Chains A and B, each alone.
Chain A
Amino acid sequence: MSAKEEKRNSDTAETPGTEEENVPGSVAKLIPVYVMGKRYEVPETLTIMKAMEYAGFKFIRGCGCRGGICGACATVYRKAGDYRLYVGLACQTVVEPNMYLAQIPFYPANRAVCNFAQLTSNPEEIFKLYPELFRCIACNLCTKACPMDVEVMDVMSALKQGNIAKAAILSFNCIQCGLCASRCMGELPQYHIAQLARRIYGSKIVPRAEHLAEAVSANSESRYDAYLDVLMKMGEEELRRVYREREMEPEIATEDWVPNDTQYL
């Protein structure tokens, strides 16, 4: 592979127009980390993910969005001389000297299949699908294991009390990495249960948007087709003019703003 291609494949490709090379190892100090018990020397500024790649690992599992949102790279680690178990996302957590780490790219958890359209907002339905919810002993290990700081145990407690709305809102930042389930003494699949709660909340508890239903029926009656037809046949120059002259909703407009020109509404 040519030098050019090597550079192209670097995750931290240089900012165009700047001459600076960005090979982290060339400047940063190397520190030892233990990947599944085996020692590697990696630059101290890297995330766990980039450090493992630096060391020569090529991910198939355990790597996803690389932006802290997909839940693919859940990682558990200990530090030397410390009994505690820490958790983090490999793509977000910076390496520390003498870190002992293992990724948990997958953890088996029960997911109940349901006919969602026929569910109601009665919490009994969640209880029926996930009876193990009541095996929760409120030990709080799930919350401690959450890399997104979701109050997982509070989510489960809210559901036990039938408060779907609270559970939905509290669990909104869940990225479904599964670390909660991996630590659960009651063997709960918290992230699947919370997903069901959010869907019930979004679909069956929060009021539906009436204006959205109106827009759907206006389109299904082809209300705008005549105006759109004109635009679709318009030459580029004319289209540019119409575009330039279109009325703009001001940035500071409030929800009740209406345009002066209403002929295309």
Chain B
Amino acid sequence: MPYTSELKELIKVVEKTRPERVARKKRGEEFPMMSLEERDEILQRYHPDYQQEGRRALRVGPNKGYVVPDEFADILEARSRIEPDKVDLSAPDMETDVLIIGGGGAGTAAALLAEEQGARVVIATKLRHGDANTMMAEGGIQAATKIEKDSPYYHYLDVMGGGHFKCDPELVYTLVTKAPDALQWLESLGVMFSKFPDGRLQSIHGGGTSRKRMHYCGDVTGMEIMRTIRDEARNRPNITVVEFVPAVELLLNEHGGCSGALLYNLETEEYMVVRAKATILAAGGCGRLHIQRFMTTNHYGATADGLVLGYRAGVEVSFLHTVQYHPTGAVYPEQVEGLLITEKFRGAGANLVNINGEQFVNEREPRDVESAACIRECLERKLGVPTPAGRVGIWLDSPMIDMLSGEGTVNREFPGKHILFQRHGIDIAKEPMLVYPTLHYQNGGLKIDSGCRTSVPGLFAAGEVTGGVHGENRLMGNSLLDVLVFGRIAGKNAAVFARESAREGKLTLDHVRAYHRELETAGVVTDRVAPMLLPDYTDPEVRKRQLTSHYQGTLR
């Protein structure tokens, strides 16, 4: 729906201050960056991670006592979808060298590298191959590729600063030193990066970067990367992809290692035992848990299943007390609510302005700081823009981009968003967008070492399901990098493990029985079942009439 007449009036205020703001940009005058102390203060007061309400200490598992958002605690303090006694583990339905749980960027990169090591690979994915947050990453991918002005040293510092100096140094070292290699790999597979005519990669700033090292493919970087590596996986005879078959439990063996997983066919509702010499959890993030009731940019399947599986099998979690809110999710029109509006708009020159058309924050603060500043502007200073649906937003002044870089730039650089808003009667080259922070990324997750190994032998993990590399807050452009760098490492190491170290042994679900007992001992009385698998958006009135559905994913 186009802007209402009320909003059109408010846009005039933005238009009035725009020429002066454009002139300031052209002169190189920037809104002052916050000091580290100011950042700390605004986070403490306005960022959802710092609010005490809506969190509780875990009562079971390896991180007992750790305080996390209720939504995480709800799925970790839940029973398995199956009764272990009912599962026949004696005759596996499928056997493979490497089983990969998750068909997004990390899982697919892992599959390619494992296959190159000579492994037979099975990717089990809950929805279609490529249905993942990777597909939706827009802004770009960081790597220090221009060594006359940048190096992994600066990339390392930026990652650390963004993550509040809490990141795991070994993981960050791996991320930044393997970054150029990951990009070169993508280039060889045919990813269409935005380039200068001589092949030089275009690059821009992102929030929290000290050098322009964000590389991109228009405004659909993740989609271009995902469809390319998926296409390559389809060329490889030793990669088998099973779709609409999520994993619901890991299978351990009598030696305490991981030996595959129990899968669930969403369409036929059969369970299936897969024995594997090595297993990789690449099941992605948690946006569809709607942490602290935030709207989300995430994929339909982002229900944190991998966390549940890994935690039940005994893998510790880290940094789950933080969740990333992207500063700019669409709040208007209602149909696109929660939709990610990439940081690249700000990188290209668009200001964030309040109802009076005034800037209130530098556009290149780290995401958490930027989000906190937007929340303060709306909630404390009451300078947000009200929407017809009763929400509140901030203007993202996209028309500045054409004024700064020439007519047609928005259309050329942001083809995806341009066409999408056009369908709703809004021309973002001429009119600003209304945005508000939106749940975007699971900063934390399962603990791994820099070889993607978990504490369970034979179990590896990569991508959003893991925690540590981004500390308490991830910088833009480091998630695509994360899934590729660590996906590739996991694939290679899992294949080597399968070849050299895997031990045959009787399959068991005893860890699930033990977890159930621990729940009972801790006094957790619940009919909650996890993993959730899929969210439920049925109208509550209709839900009341669906008497035989339990609303736990597709469990009926």
Contacts and interface: CB of A to CB of B under 8 A. Distances in A.
Interface of A: 1, 6-18, 20, 22-25, 45-47, 50, 53-61, 63-70, 72, 92, 94, 111, 113-117, 148-149, 168, 172-173, 175-176, 195-196, 198-204, 206-216, 218-220, 224-225, 227-228, 231-232, 236, 239-240, 242-244, 246-253, 255, 257-259, 264-265
B160 A243 contact: yes
B415 interface: yes
Q: Name the residue in B331, B538, B546 with the highest tally of chain A Cβ atoms < 10 Å from its Cβ.
A: B538
Contacts of B300: 59, 63-66
Given A11-B537, A58-B534, A201-B192, A249 B149 contact: yes
Contact of B267 (A15, A60, A67, A231): A60
Interface string B520-545: 00000000000000111111111101
Contact of A72 (B30, B131, B200): B131
Contacts of A175: 223
Nearest to A19: B390
Interface of B: 1, 25-26, 28, 30, 36, 48, 71, 127-128, 130-131, 135-136, 143-154, 156-157, 160-161, 165, 169-170, 173, 176-178, 180-181, 183-184, 187-193, 195-201, 205, 210-212, 218, 220, 223-224, 227-228, 231-232, 234-235, 237, 244, 266-267, 289-290, 292-295, 297, 299-300, 331, 334-340, 364, 375, 378-379, 389-392, 415-416, 419-420, 423, 436, 534-543, 545-546, 549, 551, 554
B165 A239 contact: yes
Contacts of B30: 251
Given A25-B539, A69-B223, A211-B147, A246 B154 contact: yes
Contacts of B546: 56
Contacts of A54: 537-539, 542
A198 B237 CA distance: 22
B137 to A, nearest CB: 10
A46 B539 CA distance: 12
B234 A65 contact: no
B187 A202 contact: yes
Contacts of A257: 149
A149 B539 contact: no
A250 B28 contact: yes
B190 A199 contact: yes
Contact of B210 (A23, A172, A213, A249): A249
Contact of A168 (B189, B192, B549): B192
The interface residues of chain A, by DSSP majority, are classed as loop
Contacts of A47: 335
Contact of A66 (B299, B375, B390, B554): B299
A265 B187 contact: no
A172 B218 contact: yes
Contacts of A250: 28
B537 A18 contact: no
A235 B36 CA distance: 16
Contacts of B420: 68, 92
B391 A20 contact: yes
A9 B334 CA distance: 17
B184 A212 contact: yes
Contacts of B364: 251
B329 to A, nearest CB: 10
Contacts of B536: 9, 58
Given A201-B192, A231-B153, A13 B235 contact: no
Contacts of B150: 265
A113 to B, nearest CB: 5
A14 B127 CA distance: 27
A130 B146 CA distance: 39
A14 to B, nearest CB: 6
Contacts of A225: 177
Contact of A10 (B181, B189, B537): B537
13 contacts: A9-B537, A12-B295, A20-B389, A69-B135, A69-B416, A70-B131, A70-B223, A202-B193, A211-B148, A212-B187, A231-B153, A242-B157, A258-B148
A220 B331 CA distance: 45
A219 B390 contact: no
- 9 smallest CB-CB distances across A and B, nearest first, come from A20-B390, A199-B190, A207-B199, A203-B190, A215-B180, A202-B190, A264-B153, A202-B192, A53-B537
Given A66-B299, A69-B136, A9 B535 contact: yes
Given A16-B292, A64-B127, A228-B152, A173 B235 contact: no
Nearest to B220: A69
B325 to A, nearest CB: 10
